Structure 1
């Protein structure tokens, strides 16, 4: 019999870590195939596979934490520290791309016309779609914070409504971003400006999609009352992540759209 004279939760044997790894490997291979050959049949199949395995893994984690009560205060503190370190790694990830952007924009060389934006590239009006997207993301951050406050005072109906509005604003942001991409006059291969712009905004859009998935899962849990004001760490982590996404967008708007124009 396993002794429990410690503050840590030793999880049961689970097939989900290895299955998740294999599913992600298959997904990466299908993305490469889609890029090289244009075939996307396996892509959708492996997206469904990753989603199914992730759902079952998250189900087990929720059951252990909320229904079985295996999480001690020390375990929760360490999980929170891990999420903070993950967000810190994301800060380093975006910092590397911002570093490259500032390197080329602050000292443009002859190959791009000694100017920024490079010669022949029409910059984006920062008071147009980018400003609208800024308002949308800031509004979503406001509503998800309102949701958190509503749960703390046990007002679950308002919490559900505000979280739904946050999800809708996130979807609206992605839709506007796609519309902007389809109407831009430069592409990824148009000098270092195009590559920097699409890498920064594209990876931010990917993080918005991940954040939306995170928030949607918490919306489902909120609908079925799967957490309380005393045990809502998953929602709190999604709020941390969403505010990080908001902060990255503010940097993008100020330096790529506004200052870069």
Structure 2
């Protein structure tokens, strides 16, 4: 009788007091200060904040913030997994978790919109008369004069095929999970993680052999910022799926309760779609009429 009175008579989960939101905010603040100080140091400057000079400790401030953020991610998600195992993820709670993931992906979409905006703003209007500085940066053409671009039908095409295949394998894993096929789930996740790692290696090789640099022109800056942040998201997504793989091997997921995997699959499909836009615009469209670097 006492247990019946103690058990909540609703579908919501009242979360116990948690230190993670406050600690995450602190870590983000330290990370931001360290990142700005580090960038200032790279160009020979320094960051003075609250009367303190962060010139000598810029990297370590950044590293401390990063460690705090990574620890909070691990601890907070561990708590969420524990809550799910304890039966707190009722249909209402699961729905709210899905809404949260949808809003997170929507914020990521707007993040990439900013980089596409920067790229198209520079590429569609490279020689506007009223923007003399821009014409000087680009030579009035796009890609800017003197810039040799990557062959879109070489390494970028390979990576496109790799990501499309990974989208297929993660869908296979999801289908296997829904039908109680644990072996298919594990195999599909393992293949997706492997393809994610392969994509990162191919992109790293491409960067090391790129015929232009970040500092060459606005082309290099927009190219590396947009594709580089996408590459970072691929690494995050690969880690996300790797955690799901370990959980699947431990028997955590069931056909009815598997939001952690579902969130990872959504994120991975988002990464796939962003890459298709990057490939079509920054690699293919921007190479029309441009000089293709030999062997790239």
Whether TM-score is above 0.5 comes out as yes
After TM superposition, the structure 1 = structure 2 runs for residues 90-169 of structure 1, keeping only pairs within 5 Å, are 90-109=108-127, 110-111=135-136, 112-169=138-195
Question: Shift of residue 92 of structure 1?
Answer: 1.6
Residue 193 of structure 1: aligned partner: 219
1:226 to 217, 235, 252: 252
User: Who wins on radius of gyration, i.e. which is larger?
Assistant: 2
| Mapping of residues 29-108 of structure 1, within 5 Å | 29-32=33-36, 34-35=38-39, 40=59, 47-65=66-84, 67-108=85-126
Distance in 2 separating the partners of 1:45 and 1:178: 26
2:131 corresponding residue in structure 1: none
TM-score by length of 2: 0.81
Q: Distance in 2 between matches of 1:5 and 1:204?
A: 44
Distance 2:40 2:117 in 1: 30
Corresponding residue SS for 2:247: helix
The Cα shift of 1:238 comes to 0.7
State the alpha-carbon separation in 1 of the partners of residues 90 and 163 from structure 2.
Answer: 34
- Alpha-carbon distance in structure 1 between the residues aligned to 2:96 and 2:238: 24
Task: Tell me the distance in 2 between the aligned counterparts of 1:44 and 1:99.
Answer: 30
TM-score (norm 1): 0.91
CA distance in 1, matches of 2:27, 2:80: 19
On the 8 A contact 2:173/2:186 being kept in 1, the answer is yes
- Structure 1 gaps of 5+ residues are none
Cross-structure match for 1:13: 17
What is the DSSP-based 3-state SS (H/G/I as helix, E as strand, rest coil) of the residue aligned with 1:238? helix
Structure 2 unmatched runs, 5+: 43-57, 128-134, 288-296
Range 89-98 or range 233-242, more displaced: 89-98
Q: Give the total of aligned pairs.
A: 260
CA distance in 1, matches of 2:17, 2:235: 31
Partner of 1:174: 200
> Could you tell me how far apart the structure 2 residues matched to 1:24 and 1:105 are?
33
Please give the secondary structure, in 2, of the residue aligned with 1:259. helix
Structure 2 CA distance for aligned equivalents of residues 108 and 2 of structure 1:
68
Higher RCO structure, 1 or 2 (CA under 8 Å, sep 6+): 1
